[in-house]
Amino acid sequence: MEGTDEVTRSTSDEVTRSATGPLSLTDALRTGPRYLLSGWPVRAFTANALAAVVGPVTTLLLLPLLVPGTARGARPALWVPLLNVEAARLSLIDGEVAGRFRAEAEFAATGEAIPVRRHLAYILLMAVIGPVTFAFTLFVLLIDVVLLAAPWLVHDGPVTVLFWQIGTEGHAWVAPAIGVVTTAVTAYLVGLAAVVDAHLATWLIVDGSVLRREVTRLTDSRASLLEAVEHERRRIESELHDRVQHRLVALALTLGMAESVHGNDPAGQLARLAHGQLDEALAELRAVILGISPRALTEHGLAAAVTDLVGSYPLRVDVDLGNTETPHRLPSALEDAAYRVIAEALTNIVKHAGATTAAISARRTGTWWELTVTDDGVGNAQVLPGRGLDSLTARIDAVDGTLTVTSPDRGPTEIMMRCPIPTS
C-alpha cells in the first residue's frame, strides 16, 4: 500500500522555502549567517537605493494631484503607474507585498480608488526616509571599506575612522577584522531597513479590502470551477450511461437473436463472436462510467456509494460514516474526493497490504469533516510521486483538505483525509 510514516500531503510554505530558498527578505534574515552569503543583502541595498530616488520623485509628481480641484480622472492616471513602480521595487524585498501593490494598482485602474491621506503620509515619509536611509547606508559602507582596506591605506599616512586614528601597522591589521564584523552588521541593518520599508508600505498603501476582495474572488472562482467540472463530469456520465450503454445493450440483444436464429452456421458463429466482444466492451464501458462518477454517489450520496464499493473487494470492510450526511450531504466536490481516496486506499490494501480486514470511518467535527481508512496489513507503505494516493493531492487541495498517511513497519496503516465543510 502507498504511504509513509506520518506524511501529510498538503501544500506547505515551509516545504516550499526549503526547496526554493527564502521567499522574502524577512525569511532570509531568519536563516542566520546564510543570509550574508546570499544575494539578499544586495537586493535590500538596491531596494533602499531605489527608495532614495522613487520617494522624492513620487512626491514631486503626485502631490499636485492631491490639491483640491484637480481633475479626478487625472489622479488614477498617475497613481497607477506609481504603484506599479513601487511594486517593482518591493519585489526585491517581498514578492507577496509586491503582489498586493499590483492588486492595489489594478483596483485603482478602475477609477474607484484615488490617493487618500494615508497614501500622502507614505509619500512624505518615503521622500524623507528614503534618501536619509540610503545616505546613512553609504556612510556606513564607506567606513566598512576603509576598515577593510586599512593595511594598504596606512602606507600613505594615518587613517581616521570616526574617533579612531589608525597610524601603525598593528592597528592597520586589526582594522580588517573589525571591518568584517561591521560589514556583516551593516548587511543586517540594510536588510532590516528594507523589511521596515515593506511593512510600512503595506500598512499605509495597501487597502485591506482589496486583499479581501481578491481572496473572495479567487474562492468564488475556484468554487465555480469545481461546480462546472462536476456538472460536466455528471453530464458525460449520464450520456454514457443513458445513451451509449443503452445502444450497446440493444445491439447485444440483436446479436443474441441473430445467434439463436443461425445456430452453428457461419453467420451464427460470427454473431456469437461479436456478442462476446460486445459484452467485453460493455464491461469496460461500465468500468469507465464507474470511474467517472458512480451513479450511487451522484444520486444518493457518499454512504450509498461506499456501501456499493466495498462489496467488490475480497476482504471484510467495516463502514461507519457516522454523522457525515447529517444534517445534509457533503458538497459534491468533497464527496467525489473522498470517494476517490476510499477507492484508492481499498485497492492498495488488496494489492499490497496483505490485510484481512479494513475499516472506514468518518465524522463531522464542527466545520470540519474527517475520513479515516485503516487496515491490519503489513504496513511500511510507500508514497510514490504521481501515483496512487499522491495523485489525489490536487483533488484534496481543491477542497482545502489534507491527506495524512501513517504506516509503521508491521502496521497498522492509517489514511486520514481532513477537509473544511463550506458554510454555504
Domain annotation covers residue 259? yes
Domain annotation covers residue 258? yes
Q: How confident is the model over 121-155, as pLDDT tens digits?
A: 777 777 788 888 888 888 888 888 888 888 888 77
List Cβ neighbours of 111 (8 Å cut-off, separation of 6 or more).
73, 76
Q: Is residue 280 domain-shared with residue 353, that is, in the same domain?
A: no
Q: Find the domain containing 366 and state its range.
A: 299-420
Domain annotation covers residue 359? yes
Domain annotation covers residue 182? yes
- Domain end, chosen from 142, 175, 206, is at 206
CATH number at residue 385: 3.30.565.10
Domain annotation covers residue 92? yes
Is residue 4 very low, low, confident or very high in pLDDT (cuts 50, 70, 90)? very low
Is residue 213 very low, low, confident or very high in pLDDT (cuts 50, 70, 90)? low
Domain annotation covers residue 191? yes
pLDDT attached to residue 227: 64
The residue among 87, 6, 41 whose CA lies nearest residue 403 is 6
Q: Is residue 305 domain-shared with residue 286, that is, in the same domain?
A: no
The residue among 53, 100, 90 whose CA lies nearest residue 195 is 90
Q: Is residue 337 domain-shared with residue 189, that is, in the same domain?
A: no
Does residue 41 have a pLDDT over 80?
yes
- The mean pLDDT of 377-383, rounded to a whole number, is 83
Residue 49, CB half-sphere, CA atoms under 13 Å: how many?
8
Q: Are 419 and 401 spatial neighbours (Cβ–Cβ below 8 Å)?
A: yes
Q: Is residue 136 domain-shared with residue 272, that is, in the same domain?
A: no
Round the average pLDDT of the chain to a whole number and report it: 78
Q: Is residue 190 domain-shared with residue 327, that is, in the same domain?
A: no
Higher pLDDT, 311 or 226: 311
Q: How far apart are CA 217 and CA 249, in angstroms?
A: 46
Q: Is residue 268 domain-shared with residue 382, that is, in the same domain?
A: no
Domain annotation covers residue 216? no
Q: Is residue 168 domain-shared with residue 316, that is, in the same domain?
A: no
Q: Is residue 250 domain-shared with residue 376, that is, in the same domain?
A: no
Q: How confident is the model over 326-340, as pLDDT tens digits?
A: 888 888 888 888 988
Q: How confident is the model over 227-237, as pLDDT tens digits?
A: 666 666 667 76
Domain count, the chain: 3
- Domain end, chosen from 176, 206, 236, is at 206
pLDDT attached to residue 163: 78
Q: Is residue 130 domain-shared with residue 165, that is, in the same domain?
A: yes
The residue among 123, 135, 121 whose CA lies nearest residue 45 is 135
Stated as kind and residue range, the H or E segment containing 54 is helix 40-62
Higher pLDDT, 3 or 296: 296
CA distances (Å), origin 158, targets 30, 107, 143, 180, 274: 39, 59, 15, 20, 104
Q: Is residue 345 domain-shared with residue 232, that is, in the same domain?
A: no
- Domain end, chosen from 234, 269, 293, is at 293
Domain annotation covers residue 247? yes
